[in-house]
């Protein structure tokens, strides 16, 4: 079975957005509740976590993950009320976690491009590993921001050459109908506490005029492979915590990094 160890429970691929949120803050977070942070003229409220909190100290335990957040500009300048678009998120994840894909159905990027939510599910539902919702703000020059809501769907893109791929699909209807497919690449690293690097590349929304305003997402997927129950995301807790380091890159050139820490209880 192909398993990428080093993936952190808090940092499931679906959690990319949460990590980006905390990265915007440029702080270390060890709390378990919502985090509201301000950096420059951006304000982000993020929340998330994993269950169960009690994990084996030595064996990987299946976990479920949830994340949510909102982002907004707090500038008093009307021309800056629309937050900058997020281009890329890089996450170094805890070595005491794992992502498993072998034996789970896969979906190709081409099956998701230019598709509605219903069409994406029709083509790739067996490969679905998580879902949620998102709100995108579309703001063209000298125009008011228009919010557009969409479901979020996370699909398994498979593994090749030691890299696991996930696709996060959203569909917007304004200014013209369009699918937004974020590609997440996950590979092993050896960097102290961290054992995995996840890189999310977010495409331009509405030609660069769109920005994510809010999201909620959940991954809790188990499946059977070779007569055994397997979890897409697993973790163990040898020292009472799971952590990650995240860097967010925005369209205006802003780069922000942070450490994220969540507690767990280790069991023998």
Residue 24 has pLDDT above 50, yes or no: no
- Average pLDDT over every residue of 227-248: 88
More confident residue, 28 or 190: 190
Q: How confident is the model at residue 87 (pLDDT cuts 50, 70, 90)?
A: confident
pLDDT at 251: 85
232 vs 222: CA distance, rounded Å: 6
Task: Report whether 231 contacts 251 (CB < 8 A).
Answer: no
Write out pLDDT tens, residues 58-73: 999 998 888 787 878 8
pLDDT at 56: 96
Residue 248 has pLDDT above 80, yes or no: no
- Average pLDDT over every residue of 92-101: 88
Tokens describing residue 136: 């995108």
Read off the pTM: 0.86
Query: Beta strands of the chain (E only): which ranges?
Result: 3-5, 35-39, 42-51, 54-56, 61-62, 64-73, 86-94, 97-100, 128-138, 146-160, 163-172, 178-191, 194-201, 210-219, 222-225, 228-231, 233-235, 241-250, 255-263, 265-267
pLDDT at 159: 93
Task: Give percent of the chain with pLDDT exceeding 90.
Answer: 38
104 vs 101: CA distance, rounded Å: 6
pLDDT at 82: 87
| DSSP character string of 174-237 | SSS-EEEEEEEEEEEEEETTEEEEEEEEPPPSGGGTEEEEEEEEEE--EEEETTEEEESEEE--
Write out pLDDT tens, residues 175-204: 889 999 999 999 989 999 999 898 988 898
Residue 11 has pLDDT above 80, yes or no: no
pLDDT at 32: 62
Which range among 26-40, 143-157, 180-194 shows the weakest confidence by mean pLDDT? 26-40
Mean pLDDT across the chain, nearest whole number? 82
| Omega before residue 162 within 30° of 0, cis | no
* Main-chain phi, psi angles of 124, to 5 degrees: -135, 15
Residue 2 has pLDDT above 50, yes or no: no
pLDDT at 1: 45
């Amino acid at each position: 079975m192909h398993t990428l160890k080093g993936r952190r429970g808090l940092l499931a691929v679906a959690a990319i957005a949460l990590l980006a949120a905390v990265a915007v803050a440029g702080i270390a977070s060890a709390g378990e509740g919502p985090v509201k942070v301000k950096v420059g003229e951006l304000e982000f409220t993020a929340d998330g976590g994993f269950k169960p909190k009690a994990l084996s100290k030595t064996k990987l335990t299946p976990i479920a993950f949830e994340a949510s957040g909102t982002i907004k500009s707090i500038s008093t300048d009307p021309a800056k009320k629309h937050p900058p678009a997020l281009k890329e998120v890089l996450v170094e994840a805890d070595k005491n976690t794992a992502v498993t894909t072998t034996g789970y159905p896969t979906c190709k990027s081409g099956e998701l491009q230019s598709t509605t939510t219903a069409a994406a599910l029709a083509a790739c539902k067996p490969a679905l590993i998580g879902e949620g919702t998102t709100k995108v703000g579309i703001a063209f020059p000298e125009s008011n921001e228009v919010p557009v809501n969409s479901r979020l769907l996370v699909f398994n893109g498979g593994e090749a050459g030691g890299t696991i791929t996930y696709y996060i699909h959203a569909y917007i209807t304004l200014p013209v109908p369009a699918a937004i497919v974020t590609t997440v690449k996950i590979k092993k690293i050896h960097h102290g506490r961290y054992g995995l690097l996840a890189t999310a590349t977010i495409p331009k929304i509405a030609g660069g005029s769109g920005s994510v305003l809010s999201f909620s997402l959940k991954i809790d997927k188990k499946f059977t492979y070779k007569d055994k129950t397997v979890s897409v995301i697993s973790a163990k807790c040898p020292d009472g915590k799971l952590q990650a380091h995240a860097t967010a890159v925005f369209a205006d050139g802003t780069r922000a990094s942070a450490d994220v820490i969540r507690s767990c209880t280790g069991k023998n």
